[in-house]
Amino acid sequence: MANNVLVTGGAGYIGSHACKVLKLAGFTPVTFDNLNTGWRDAVKFGPFEQGDLLDRARLDEVFAKYNPVAVMHFAALSQVGESVRIPGAYWRNNVAGSLNLIEAANAADCKKFVFSSTCAIFGDQDGVVLQEDSRRAPLNAYAASKSAIEDMLSDFGVSDGMESVIFRYFNVAGADPEAEIGEFHQPETHLIPLMLFSIMGKRDALTIYGTDYATTDGTCIRDYVHVMDLVDAHVLGLKWLLEEKGSAVFNLGTGSGFSVREVIDHSAAVTNCEVPIIEGARRAGDAAKLVSGSQKAETVLGWTPTRSNLRQMIGDAWRWHQNGHYKD
């Protein structure tokens, strides 16, 4: 009982990988998920409790049953375009649901909280290396909801002694190297799985949105981090909290970036397959370059991303997809 960690969204992409590393680190991950976007067969490393963050009574039941030492909170709606069309769903699910979760944790005297945030809270600060103290300027309800939850955790830290480690992700990619779990969303919006689906004939050609940016090859540059490197940081953050070191905020990226064409070229090399592409127009709001400054995570937490090169990220994802784990 002493090592239980409540993992909301533990049936999703990042949450399921976090559950694997938590188990390897000696914790028991308890997945809490409504399965709206997660997959039951991704829950392999600890107990599963189905429920919704908006159901406070269900949350109270789970806290009482497992008495977790901490919460690792991944559950959220996360489609930027959808959040522009139906913002109410994002404020309701992400913000009201997180408030329910924080209050339930607080009532259960579970005061350690690891939160999955996003670099989207910084908005469109094109070409700037984004640091933890960079200006927050969210441009949509998804980013705004994550920013609001960060503020909520800070407020509960003042009022009730809630301690939190907040991780702001850049572009997460790859899969479990042992191919037990991997990345699959419906709808899928991430570059690497979209590219692999195109190679496999599971979808149409990959569209490059904009080829005239002020970058080396005209395509957007993004900072990619391997999902296993990312979840390793979460275990370090959890241990930081359990060692009573207090609240902290960290960006998680590599400090460098890859263009869309570089990702395509590496995918062709890794898979030995041509990537079918269509060159399209720019999308509104797409910055030319978004790169993290991650020195704080390295110097404070001792986090070093060891797998976050394109060959390994694409290779691990390709192995998982080739094994037939994707869902039609």
Residue 29 lies in a domain: yes
- What pLDDT does 1 receive? 46
Q: Output the domain CATH number for residue 162.
A: 3.40.50.720
Residues 218, 77: one domain? no
Residue 21 forms part of a structural domain: yes
Q: How far apart are CA 316 and CA 325, in angstroms?
A: 13
Q: Is residue 277 part of a domain?
A: yes
**328 pLDDT band (50/70/90 cuts)?**
very low
Give the pLDDT confidence of 144-200 residue by residue, as tens digits. Answer: 999 999 999 999 999 999 999 999 988 899 889 887 887 776 666 678 878 888 888
Cα–Cα dist 154/134, whole Å: 17
Residue 327 belongs to some domain of the structure: no
> Would 328 be classed as within a structural domain?
no
Compute the distance between CA of residue 33 and CA of residue 44 in angstroms, rounded to an integer. 13
Mean pLDDT of 273-294: 82
Share of the chain above pLDDT 70, in %: 95
287 pLDDT band, cuts 50/70/90, is confident
Looking at the fold, whether 205 and 294 belong to one and the same domain comes out as yes
**Domain co-membership, 269 together with 145:** no
What is the domain range of residue 38?
4-172+224-252
Segment 101-131, tens digit of pLDDT: 999 999 999 999 999 999 889 887 776 788 8
Most trustworthy range by pLDDT among 44-53, 70-79, 124-133, 302-311: 44-53
Q: Of 13, 66, 142, 169, which is the active-site residue?
A: 142
More confident residue, 201 or 86: 86
Quick one: which of 20, 165, 31, 153 has its CA closest to 98?
Answer: 153
Residues 146 and 212 in one domain: no
For residue 142, indicate whether it is catalytic. Answer: yes
